[in-house]
Every structure is written in C-alpha cells, then in structure tokens.
Amino acid sequence: MTALSVSTSSAASLRAEALVIGVAKGPKGVVLAPGTEAVNEAFEGKLAEILGTLGATGAEGEAVKVPSPAGVKAGFVLAVGLGEAGDEGFEPEALRHAAGVAARTLAGVKKAALALPAESAAEVEAVALGGLLGSYAFGTYKGKGNGKEPVGELVVLAPRKGSKDAKAAVERAAAVGEEMNRARDLVNLAPNDLTPKSFAATVQAAAKEHGLKVEVLDEKALTKGGYGGLMGVGGGSVNPPRLVKVAYTHPKAESTLAFVGKGITYDSGGISLKPAGYNETMKCDMAGAAAVFAAVVAAKRLGLAVNVTGWLALAENMPSGSAVRPGDVLRIYGGKTVEVLNTDAEGRLVLADALVRAGEENPDVIVDVATLTGAMVMALGTRTFGVMSNNDELRADLHALAGEVGEESWPMPMPAHLRKGMTESTIADLANMGERMGGGLVAGLFLQEFVAEGTDWAHLDIAGPAYHEGAPFGYTPKGGTASGVRTLVAFAERTATGKA
C-alpha cells in the first residue's frame, strides 16, 4: 500500500525520485500553476516553454515528464494537467484528478512529492486523496514482474502556515482513501474467493481491528429469523447467505444512521440466467455492501460524532436444483410476501430483508447502496449513480453532498403509478418485477415498500459507476471504484456536525 505523508519542504529541495507539479490551460497554451516559482527558476524560467514543446497543454489527464536541472533535488519533474483555473483557483475535483493521474503515471517509483497548488486544508486533502486513490493497483492474482508496483510513498507538500491542519487533512484522506481501496479490493476479488461467508469474516476481522460491534447471521439464524429474501436468493448456491450488522457508535452521537448494502457476491441471474456477455463482471454485485462496510470503518477512523450501523445483505445468486424459481413466493423478514417473477431481480429481495431489519432499530435515516438495475445504467451512463428517496429534501442533500466530494449522481423520481405493476396480477403482496420501462424506478418503489412510513430513506443505485470497465482515468482504476463511499462518509460527517 502506498504510504502517505505531508511535508512543508520546498518543492525544489525535497529529495525524491519524482516531483509532481501542476500545469493549467492558459489562453495561449500551457501555464504553470502557483507554487512552481522556485522550480521554474531552476529551469531558468523556461519550464512552461519546455513543457509546451513536449506537447503539454495543461488539459486534465495530461502527464509530461522532464529531467530535473541542478537546483531541483528530485530526479525528474512530472507536470500534470489541471485544466482551466477558475476565479478561486482549482476545484478540489481537479486536484484529486491530477493527483490521481500523477500517482498512476508514477507506478514503479519508490518516492514522489506532490507539489500541486494546495493552500487550504481542503485542497491538501483533495491532493492526498486523489494520490492515494490513483496509486491503487489490484495485485492479488498477478505474479511478480507481471505489473508495476504502485508508487511506494507520496509526500504531499503543504504551506508552512497551517501545517497542523494540513497534517490532519492528510490523515483524513488516508482514512477515507484506504477504506475505499479496501472496498475496491473486495469488488475485484474473484467470486470463487469472495463468498458471503468470507466477506463476513473480513468484516469481523476489521471490526476487531477497529473496535466495531459486529453480528453475523448465518443460514441457520436467517432461516429461524424468517429472512425469506436472503434465504430464497441464496438457496441455489453452495455458498449460503449471511446478514452482517457492523456498528460504530460515538458517546456524543445525537443521531443514528443505517447504511444498507446489496452484497450479491456473484449474480448469475439464477434460474432466469443472464446470457453470456452480461455475467462476466457480476462479481461487482456486492459493491454496495463493500461501500457500506468502508463507510462504517471510515466513520470510526474519523471519529465522527454520529452512530453508523452498516447492514450487509450477502448472498450468491446461482441456478441449481435448490434455487428459487420464477413463480416461487418468498416471505420477507417482517411478513410481506413476494412472488418472484424473475430470479435476476434478486438485489431487491435481499435488500428487503435488510431494510426491514435495519428499520426495527429506528434509525434517523436509512440509506441503501446497490448495484440494482441495468435500467439505471441505461438512464445515467456508467459514471453517475441515481438517487431516490421518500423525502425530496434528503434526495437533494445527498445529490449535493455527492457533488461536493467528487461523486457524480442524479436525482430520480418515484412515480406512484409504477407501483401498480408490482401489485396487480400476483398471488402475493408484491411481485419482484413491474413494468419494464423505468426499471430503475420500479426497483426503488419496490424497496420503499420495506421502509416504515415516517422513516427517512434514500436509495443509491450505483450499477453504473461501481465497476469501471474502460481504461483508467483520473483516480479511477479499472474494476472496482468504491462508488458511494465518499457520499456516505460525507453524509455521516454532515449529520455529526449538524451543518445544514
């Protein structure tokens, strides 16, 4: 794992293999970002010109290397693009993005310094988090020499004034970034290595390490407790389901949040089997549970004055002689019955159990996170998650918070008429499918049926951004992204401080 530290040394004097500086898009080509004056002097004032000759324009995503002259202690200078500067400098997301590009470019390097334009603690935090997220590499299955080691150490350069705040900011970035990278690892693990049981064991180990309370319901306890959703969906697999509760409490907390995560360790579709081409990435179907797990641990590491309970609904959706059939009726925890019309609409079934169970403890707000529907990906694309809620203000809050921490999201409606398709012409209280059109909204309406009236609830459908199949960009690698974690942490943070 990449080590993160902070230093108030000057950019030119820090000893490292690489020195990362920022460049921006100016009206007449590439310009140097603030804080590069001394480095530019060592280049006899010609650094922008040199970088321009090498093709740099200052656009986001760009990374250009130049060997260092005497006067710069680092071996080489890496200039990364920040895009156009705004009136108040650069957006935190531009800093995270640039730091991420730098960290990815520097794979194989032992030590690098990040001298990006970061004055405030928030800017220092953005650089640190982008660097840590960009350094991520999933190496579990690759032999040595079959890929570069991630950059060994990242030193974030911060102004001398406010260096205490800068140190705290880097520690916060480490808490969030390391837990996000852990969530990415869980998503990237092959589904033969991550089962409901092993996922639960991972949570138990982390809970022990961080002093969190954890309870695991195994298949026996789930059967006895009447968790028909989890038992039904998990019924076709040799790897039985689990419901994990992992709780962080703070003595001064005035609110309790419940985060509920969809944790399908593999979604084959079940008897309503997915065709080839649609199941190769379905190990990612536990990304919601991984996000919830990461957020609870991060809340603890940040010491937030709020109680956060995570509920992970873990099961493997497989076809077999014991699998749930289209036509079966399941009894969800709490008593509502669901006719399963399509076994591939399994996420809502396991979430239903978990939502009812989470609601029993009367949290102030419930937020669930799930790779729930292909329809949401159709609607919003692969980088944006949908936000639905039974409370418009909560929905707007989460959408705004997500934007502040660099997660793209969009508010989605819950049209009441779509509920009809799930209740009519079924022998049970509900069917697990309704109208095909607006499938993401139908799924959200289904979940709402399992939230007690009067309880504030929101649903993040992260099916698009949870797993990145294209080439890496910014601080986003291929594979698991840890989508949702930063929004959950920001929400817990906001709840703790009571800031509106």
Binding site for ligand BES (CB under 6 A): 267, 285, 342, 344-347, 371-375, 377, 433, 439, 463
Comparing CB distances to Zn ion, the nearer of 347 and 464 is 347
Written as six digits, the tokens of 230 are 């989890």
Written as six digits, the tokens of 18 are 């690489």
- Residue of minimal CB distance from ligand BES? 374
DSSP string, 288-322: HHHHHHHHHHHHHHHT-SSEEEEEEEEEEE--STT
| Least spacing, CB of residue 181 vs Mn ion, in Å | 26
What is the 3-state composition of the chain as percent helix, strand, coil, each rounded to the nearest 5?
35, 20, 40
Written as six digits, the tokens of 454 are 């009067």
Rg over alpha carbons for the chain, rounded to the nearest Å, is 24
| Least spacing, CB of residue 436 vs Zn ion, in Å | 17
Q: Return the bridge partners of 79, or none.
A: 21, 64
Q: Which of residues 251-280 bind Mn ion (CB under 5 A)?
A: 267
Comparing CB distances to Mn ion, the nearer of 179 and 267 is 267
33 backbone dihedrals φ, ψ, rounded to 5°: -75, 160
Written as six digits, the tokens of 385 are 């998650």
Nearest to residue 95, comparing CAs of 122, 135, 71? 122
Choices 93-101, 202-210, 217-225, 336-344 (CB under 5 A): range interacting with Mn ion: 336-344
Which residue is associated with the tokens 């779509």? 418
Catalytic residues: 274, 348
Query: What single-letter DSSP state applies at residue 86?
Result: B
- Cβ(202)–Cβ(214) below 8 Å: no
- Residue of minimal CB distance from Zn ion? 267
Comparing CB distances to Mn ion, the nearer of 93 and 267 is 267
Establish if 185 lies at the interface with Mn ion (CB under 5 A): no
- Site residues (vs Zn ion, CB under 5 A): 264, 267, 285, 347
Write the CB contacts of 417 (distance below 8 Å, at least 6 apart in sequence).
Answer: none
| Least spacing, CB of residue 436 vs ligand BES, in Å | 8
- Cβ(457)–Cβ(391) below 8 Å: yes
Establish if 17 lies at the interface with Mn ion (CB under 5 A): no
Establish if 461 lies at the interface with Mn ion (CB under 5 A): no
Judged by beta carbon distances under 5 to 8 A according to partner kind, the member of ligand BES, Zn ion, Mn ion, none in contact with residue 433 is ligand BES
Among 178, 179, 219, 344, the residue binding Mn ion under the rule CB under 5 A is 344
Comparing CB distances to Mn ion, the nearer of 211 and 275 is 275
| Least spacing, CB of residue 11 vs Mn ion, in Å | 50
> In angstroms, rounded to a whole number, what is the distance separating the alpha carbons of residues 72 and 15?
9
Comparing CB distances to Mn ion, the nearer of 267 and 368 is 267
Judged by beta carbon distances under 5 to 8 A according to partner kind, the member of Zn ion, ligand BES, Mn ion, none in contact with residue 439 is ligand BES
Which DSSP helix (H) or strand (E) runs through 173? helix 163-188
Pick left, alpha or beta for residue 343 (phi over 0 → left; psi -120 to 50 → alpha; otherwise beta): alpha
Compute the C-alpha angle 193/195/196, nearest 5°: 155
> In angstroms, rounded to a whole number, what is the distance separating the alpha carbons of residues 263 and 117?
39
Comparing CB distances to Zn ion, the nearer of 64 and 338 is 338
Which DSSP helix (H) or strand (E) runs through 7? strand 3-7
- Cβ(95)–Cβ(120) below 8 Å: no
> In angstroms, rounded to a whole number, what is the distance separating the alpha carbons of residues 110 and 251?
41
Judged by beta carbon distances under 5 to 8 A according to partner kind, the member of Mn ion, ligand BES, Zn ion, none in contact with residue 40 is none
Establish if 179 lies at the interface with Mn ion (CB under 5 A): no
| Least spacing, CB of residue 262 vs ligand BES, in Å | 8
Judged by beta carbon distances under 5 to 8 A according to partner kind, the member of ligand BES, Mn ion, Zn ion, none in contact with residue 445 is none
| Least spacing, CB of residue 254 vs Mn ion, in Å | 38
Choices 108-116, 167-175, 246-254, 343-351 (CB under 5 A): range interacting with Mn ion: 343-351
Establish if 316 lies at the interface with Mn ion (CB under 5 A): no
Comparing CB distances to ligand BES, the nearer of 95 and 332 is 332
| Least spacing, CB of residue 350 vs Zn ion, in Å | 9
Written as six digits, the tokens of 284 are 């990612």
Comparing CB distances to Mn ion, the nearer of 406 and 439 is 439
Judged by beta carbon distances under 5 to 8 A according to partner kind, the member of Mn ion, ligand BES, Zn ion, none in contact with residue 299 is none
Judged by beta carbon distances under 5 to 8 A according to partner kind, the member of ligand BES, Mn ion, Zn ion, none in contact with residue 342 is ligand BES
Length of the chain: 500
- Cβ(309)–Cβ(247) below 8 Å: yes
| Least spacing, CB of residue 144 vs ligand BES, in Å | 33
Comparing CB distances to Mn ion, the nearer of 121 and 354 is 354
> In angstroms, rounded to a whole number, what is the distance separating the alpha carbons of residues 158 and 118?
7
- Cβ(21)–Cβ(78) below 8 Å: yes
> In angstroms, rounded to a whole number, what is the distance separating the alpha carbons of residues 485 and 17?
32
| Least spacing, CB of residue 370 vs ligand BES, in Å | 8
Binding site for Mn ion (CB under 5 A): 267, 344, 346
